[in-house]
Amino acid sequence: MSTAPIAPGDFPTSPLALRFADPARQVKARAFAVEQAKAATEAAGLLARRWEAAPGRPARVAALAAVHAHLVDWRYRLAVTMGPRPGTRIAFFPERFRTPIREGDTNYDRLGEVGRLREGAQWDQAAHAFTGGLATPAWEAMVRYGRLAEERFATEGVEGDTLQNRVLLPDGRLVAGNRILRGDAAHRTDAELTARYAARGLNTSWMERGGNPVYTASPAPRDSAVLHSAALDLLARPRLTTEDYLLARYLLFQAPQTKKGSDAVSRTFVVAVGAVVLPGAAPALPEDIDLRCYVLGQCLATCGSAGAGRSCDVHGAREAGGRAARG
């Protein structure tokens, strides 16, 4: 079974990896695409061999699960070899790249003005934040998506501090996806993360707790398992469409599986799978695909090239899901 060629250009660098104002240092960060392309090519070959031998949809789901597990192991081994990412101020533990997200151990990502993402920022004890320094692509992306997260509260009429993302599956089920937290809920998250770090014996004195934080929070593990399973089931369809592929991609990013590294695994997995099972060229991977899927909601995050000119509203998504379930 032939596969489409995979190249580093298929892996645009996440802005969150670009924590430098210096273009030369950004070039070094972008080199990670070479590792992703090699891993995706290997994974595509593994999937192609299993795909030909798979007699039906359950066997193909199992093949996809095996390839995903292979990539989780790849990301863990790469973390051991490469060490911590330059420009980070977070304690580095490679084992977390293969540690599943458990109940009560939610993954949180802070959005908005995250001072530590500015190059050369200095710790301000009174503000409990990093201040000053030079803007970087990582800082700019977080500011932008923090603003977009806040806008969703207004757009969807959410008056409280928690926006629960609801994910529509092809069979018509609505599953609780990630949450967006602001205000008191976000400050409680600050306190929870500080307590977690302290319990692990880590230094908490430089943890940013000031300002007006916004967080994304991963789904409960039981919901994440449903979303991940639905993504693999979609990708195993006998006649996979581009819309199926885009929805599966969204589901995978909505359902991170490990404490660290899920973004790179999901990026590498979807490119590898697209090269094997999607007729024609797979849709390009946006550089900020993880933030899109965490913040924008299902309609906007899945529109892509297949959604050009299509209404992107909740009612349309529900209708599409109902048709898929009936058909």
Q: pLDDT at position 325, please?
A: 35
- Residue 162 forms beta bridges with which residues? 181
Distance of CA 48 to the CA centre of its chain: 25
pLDDT exceeding 90 applies to what percent of the chain? Answer: 72
pTM above 0.85, yes or no: yes
Q: pLDDT at position 309, please?
A: 31
Tokens of residue 257, six digits: 């599986």
pLDDT tens for residues 207-245? Answer: 888 888 999 999 999 999 999 999 999 999 988 999 999
119-148 mean pLDDT: 94
Instruction: Label residue 92 by pLDDT band (50, 70, 90).
Output: low
Tell which residue, 290, 64, 319, has the closest CA to residue 168: 319
Whether 91 shows a pLDDT value over 80: the answer reads no
Q: Which residue has the higher pLDDT, 278 or 223?
A: 223
pLDDT tens for residues 29-82? Answer: 999 999 999 999 999 999 999 998 878 899 999 999 999 999 999 999 999 988
Tell which residue, 314, 321, 318, 285, has the closest CA to residue 300: 314
For residues 190 and 187, give the distance between their C-alpha atoms in angstroms, rounded to a whole number: 5
Question: 305: exposed, middle or buried (C-beta count within 10 Å: 0-12, 13-18, 19+)?
Answer: exposed
